[in-house]
Amino acid sequence: MATMITSECINCGACEPECPNNAITQADEIYVIDPLLCTECVGFHDYEACAAVCPVDCCVTDPNNVETEEALIGRARTIHADTDFGDTFESRFREGEGSDAPAAPVEATAAGPAPAAAAQAAGAPAAVFADSSQPSISIPAPDQWPVSLHCFACDAVYEVETGRLTIGNVLFCPHCFKSTVVKDDFNYAVRTTVQRFHDEWDRDLSAFRERRQQELQQFQERRQKELLAFEKNQRKRVDEFGKHMARLTGDYQAPGKRIDKRALLSWRSRADNSAS
Ligand code: SF4
Ligand code: SF4
């Protein structure tokens, strides 16, 4: 069955980057999955990556779109024509039996390695969270931020680090060696602008990581709850089966076993009474 997103979606966006097939997009009201791209993660994971990260459990299998493993891996091979999935690919139909991630090219999108690619390499839900909490883009420290300066003498453009833009510092153009001095207003404008950008960057990054951390915690709590419920159910089944086996062997009339005549007689007298 292809995976679908129900109306309980809270538009958190956590699932979108996890999909190895880019099958998830944000529609007008909620996120949606393109069933022509969804492979239920067959070929990449032995679980559905979107369902694994969804904080409200609204990525569910679509009962109206049943598909075989063969059809799903066929789709994965079509979408990722340059990926070798091999014969022992990951599949939710064979949880825990697959190989490691397929030898997929890392550059999943033009924007760089997709988090899903990292997830493929990690191969486990916890690692998926960890990897997707680390954006691949980073910025230099405020003092190392490169600033382009325009030489008033030779018209060339050269770069200096913000840390060198202190009041009174003499800068030399590397092309014509003409010197210039950093004035207080220039120092203030550049340094405060860079610092402000840095502060916003750090704040957004912290918020993103905190949200990821919360999602991870919710996910792990849910998994733990599911595990406990599963264990409880399995324990109950084992108990019931034990009782069933005890009844089966207890009722066995082994050759040589003494027959309880009183029980036999009471049975016969019950039969006589009902006949009369
Ligand atoms: S089940 Fe896997 S392939 Fe399908 S939408 Fe979710 S993440 Fe993508
Ligand atoms: S993770 Fe769940 S709630 Fe968040 S956007 Fe995806 S489907 Fe919606």
Cα separation values, 87 from 74, 77, 97, 100, 217, Å: 12, 12, 11, 12, 34
Residues 123 and 95 both lie in one domain: yes
Per-residue pLDDT of the chain (276 residues; tens, 9 = 90+): 689 999 989 999 899 999 999 999 999 999 999 999 999 999 999 999 999 998 888 999 888 888 999 999 999 999 999 888 988 889 988 776 655 445 444 333 333 333 343 334 334 444 444 445 567 788 999 999 999 999 999 999 999 999 999 999 999 999 999 999 999 999 999 999 999 999 999 999 899 888 888 888 888 888 888 889 999 999 999 999 999 999 888 877 777 777 666 665 665 666 666 665
Whole-model pTM? Answer: 0.42
Domain-terminating residue out of 66, 99, 132? 132
Nearest ligand 2 atom to alpha carbon 59? 7
Q: Is residue 222 situated within a structural domain?
A: yes
- Establish whether residue 72 lines the binding site of ligand 2, counting it when its CB lies within 6 angstroms of any ligand atom: no
Centroid of ligand 1 to alpha carbon of 97 (angstroms)? 19
- Establish whether residue 49 lines the binding site of ligand 2, counting it when its CB lies within 6 angstroms of any ligand atom: no
Total residue length of the chain: 276
Question: CATH number, domain at 63?
Answer: 3.30.70.20
Candidates 196, 241, 182, 217; CA nearest to 14 is 217
Centroid of ligand 1 to alpha carbon of 203 (angstroms)? 31
Cα separation values, 138 from 76, 133, 202, 205, 209, Å: 32, 13, 10, 10, 14
Per-residue burial over 125-135, b = 16 or more CB atoms within 10 Å of its CB, e = otherwise: beebbebbbee
Nearest ligand 1 atom to alpha carbon 41? 2
Kindly report each contact of residues 135-140 with a partner whose C-beta sits within 8 Å and lies 24 or more positions away, as own/partner: 135/205, 135/208, 136/112, 139/198, 139/201
Centroid of ligand 2 to alpha carbon of 26 (angstroms)? 10
Ligand 1 atom 1: residue of nearest CA: 40
Centroid of ligand 1 to alpha carbon of 77 (angstroms)? 15
Centroid of ligand 2 to alpha carbon of 57 (angstroms)? 8
Residues 100 and 205 both lie in one domain: no
Residues 116 and 13 both lie in one domain: yes
Domain span at residue 177 reads 142-234
- C-alpha 243/C-alpha 107 separation (Å) is 57
- Establish whether residue 13 lines the binding site of ligand 2, counting it when its CB lies within 6 angstroms of any ligand atom: yes
Q: Which residue has the tokens 């690692």?
A: 127
Domain-terminating residue out of 132, 152, 171? 132
Nearest ligand, CA 50: 1
Domain-terminating residue out of 234, 251, 271? 234
**Tally of structural domains, the chain:** 2
